[in-house]
Chains A and B, each alone.
Chain A
Amino acid sequence: MKRWIAKSIGGLAVAAFAVTASFANPYEKYKGTTIVVSWPALSHYGKAQGLIDQFTAETGINVEVDALQYLKLRDRQILEMSKPEGEYDVVTWVVMWKGEYVSKGLLTPLSQFFTSGALVDPKFDIDDIADAYLQNGGVVGGKKGYMPGKSGALYGLPFGAETSIMAYRKDILEAQGIAVPKTYDELRAAMKKLGEAGIPAMTSRGKTGHQVTAGWLLHLAPLGGKIFDDEWNPVFNNAAGVEAAQVMREIAQTGPKGIPAFGFGDAAAAFLGGDAAFYIDTLKIAAMARDPKLSKIADKVGYALHPVGSRCGSETGGFAAGIPANSQNKEAAFLFLQYITSKKGDQKMVELGGDPVRMSTYKANADKFAEYPVILEQLPCADADWRPLIPEWNELNIDVLGQALTEVITTDKPIQPIMDAAAEKARAIMEREGYYAWKDVN
């Protein structure tokens, strides 16, 4: 009802000014409109409220936020977007869901808006947004359906995206005479040395299920491994996959006690509590390390690039935001999306304590945060194929790899057979879901 009135007023305004035609600013036309945003109740989004207030003040477009616990987000969004007319005008998704949303026709391609001169800010500069973030969260339909590629199209802009970097304890490394590792060989040597000295080396997630798999994936990409080849054959049991598993085993052996039971929070807490010399995972560790409520080691932490094995490759993950196909205020929604990911919005997010998505923002603030120069250098080699963004990944992630890798880190059994068995199970899943149907044709 409210929205209908708002729309009518908007229509009247259009009619009244039709003769004189031009607007004072691009937002004028949507003044008084209310858009509804669905996003997770996570720290970055909580801090975005300041940005929203600024947006409403500047544009006259009202924003209503529906913040949900992120596990409930997907069901709610799908429900809304399946209706003929949805409540939501902006939705944010975990990168994992993007393929499903697009294949079900729930999202509006952003090209619809980027073709409109009245809507696009000429200074928006989409190339400034970290490419890995944009490709990983926003582009759908490229290579393998989720990677960049000519067949891909843009459906969303990254907001609350992340990659991995390495955090380390300057004091411990200095005391032990260890140089900051740049490669996996150096890292493993450092872990060995710390282990022998009785100092817990690296913390990691290790709990059975998606946690241990995430820990292992962080090493798989830089060591040159992948889950599937281009024809969906599981290849994570090749030399790189086994080596990554070996690294996980060494981490569990030399790291803080209890890694096989660590979830994300436990792993971070071990580092923040001073019980580990290294941390390789999301860049969010930097903000946590600065928070005196969480951290005992604020001034002792240094940041470096995610070490390199046979290649440079860091994590890609987090969220991106787009516009549902059944939104009733698509233009206003686009203006909002463009605003929060603009240079000005990105900078505001940094000031509010959130995570930026633009290279220029990282550059401009490089002297303020120790991790920014590292992230700036890290982002270009973030791996878009870090994990397959397909629906079958859930089962593979938790039931297959999550189990196999637990065996790796809690036993001394040879790794190759464990990974081979997991690959067999992965193949069975892919077979069941019809991924190999093209084999006989070609």
Chain B
Amino acid sequence: MANAAISANSSEPSAPDGDRSVAKAPRDYRNIAPYFFIAPAVFVMLVGLVYPVFDSLYLSFFDWKIGEPFSKADNVGFTNYLRMFSDPDVWESIWVTFRFGFWTITLEMFLGVTLALMLEKPIRGASIFRTIFILPLMVSPVVVGLIWRYLFDARVGWINYYLGIWFGIEPQVWLGDAELAFFAIVFTDIWQWTPFIFIIVIAGLQALPSEVLEASRIDGANWWQQIFLVKLPMISSILVIALLMRLIDVFRALEVMYIMTGGGPGRATELLSLHIYNRAFDAQLLGYASAIAVLLIVIVTVLSAGILIIGNPMKDKSDV
């Protein structure tokens, strides 16, 4: 830029339109400034996000096995994709992921919002409850997986132990039965992620202007009407963001299921990301796993775009 300014200045005596170019130079500089400031973020995005995605896309056209140098891998064109679309295991895994997402997100939203509404007012002990509810969020997913794997353990797990003592229920093979294992991972996910919804919603509720809520009381809204007609609609953008983040998380979820069930029994708990992991590192089909990973990106993109179109949190941002 400095050079441009100098050359503009130096041309001033000879060129009749010298004034204009001098005036122009600093304005161009200002126009470029924003790009200059976002450049590092763009660079990080490119390196950290876009490159792996495209690399994965590239890899999906090869038949590459772990340990083999990539130069020896065969370019197989769309074979991996053709195989994927006719592979019932992939579709089953997608179906499991959607079922998992439906149950976890529905229940987490319900529980998280309910808890937030219950603990919104400064009742006695609310801060203690809030702290306790947030704890599961702070535990690393690997540890969560281990904790619940042992709690659900059929032989020595506390859950079987206390179900037996308190309710006389026979020990259940929680992680070895298709339906119970699915229940177990849904339960664990709800345990870990309800606090996330809770925190976001309670923050949203506490930021609501009190006068609007008072206005609704004067307008005659009872407790339920106030929640469903005023409070929740007013934090709808926050709910959409929370929903979106959870949805993307469902497609990212790996560690907890990997440790608790490894996707089993069968494919009962094999979410799509775990399916990709298992294909890539257990069955060692890197190219095929990459093709499924591309499918995962497509699914997440479509879902996210759909949610954003239905309830764009940014369009209401002047109100929040």
A and B, one complex? yes
Which residues on A are within 8 Å of B, measured CB to CB? 74-75, 78, 82, 100, 206-210, 256-262, 266, 270, 273, 275, 391, 394-395, 398-399, 403, 406-407, 409-410
Our count of residue pairs bridging A and B at CB distance below 8 angstroms stands at 92
**Which residue of A is nearest B83, CB measured?**
A432
Cα-based distance from A399 to B89 in the complex (angstroms): 9
| Top 4 A-B pairs, shortest CB-CB distance | A208-B264, A260-B176, A258-B154, A261-B175
Max chain A Cβ within 10 angstroms of own Cβ: one of B89, B155, B175, B177 = B155
How far is A435 from B224 in the complex, measured between Cα atoms in Å? 68
Residue of B nearest to A252 (CB): B176
Chain B residue with the shortest CB-CB distance to A411: B178
Complex CA distance for A398 and B278, rounded to whole angstroms = 9
B65 at the A/B interface (Cβ < 8 Å)? yes
Query: In the assembled complex, how far is the CB of residue B19 from the closest CB belonging to chain A, in whole angstroms?
Result: 65
Given contacts A75-B66, A82-B69, A403-B266, contact A398 B282 (CB under 8 A): yes
Interface size on B, residues (CB 8 A): 32
CB contacts under 8 Å to A, within B135-177, are 153-156, 160, 171-177
Q: Is the beta-carbon distance between B283 and A260 smaller than 8 angstroms?
A: no
Contact present for A208 and B263 (CB under 8 Å) = yes
Complex formed: what's the CA distance from A399 to B265 in Å? 12
User: Which of A75, A100, A262: most chain B Cβ within 10 A?
Assistant: A262
Contact of A261 with B282 at beta-carbon distance under 8 Å, contacts A78-B67, A208-B266, A275-B155 already known? no
Alpha-carbon gap, A82 to B181, bound state (A): 44
Contact status B175-A260, CB under 8 Å:
yes
Q: Give, as a whole number of angstroms, the nearest-CB distance from A361 to chain B.
A: 34
- Residue on A nearest B89 in the bound complex, by CB: A399
Known: A399-B89, A399-B283. A261 touches B176 (CB 8 A): yes
B: residues with CB less than 8 A from A are 65-67, 69, 89, 153-156, 160, 171-178, 181, 261-267, 278-279, 282-285
Closest-CB distance, B27 to chain A (whole angstroms)? 55
Known A82-B69, A208-B262; contact A398-B283, beta-carbon cutoff 8 A:
yes
Q: Chain B residue with minimal CB distance to A256? A: B155
Nearest Cβ on chain A to B142's Cβ, whole angstroms: 16
- Could you say which residues of chain B place their CB within 8 Å of the CB of A75? 66-67
**Residues of chain A within 8 A of B65, CB atoms compared:** 391
- Give Cα A260–Cα B174 distance, bound, in whole angstroms: 9
Chain B residue with minimal CB distance to A391? B65
A406 contact set on B, CB distance < 8 A: 264-266
Please name 9 further chain A to chain B contacts, defined as beta carbons within 8 Å, in addition to the given A260-B175, A395-B284, A395-B285, sorted by A numbering.
A207-B265, A209-B278, A257-B154, A257-B172, A258-B153, A258-B173, A403-B89, A403-B266, A410-B176
| B267–A410 CB distance below 8 A | no
CB of B155 within 8 A of CB of A410, answer no
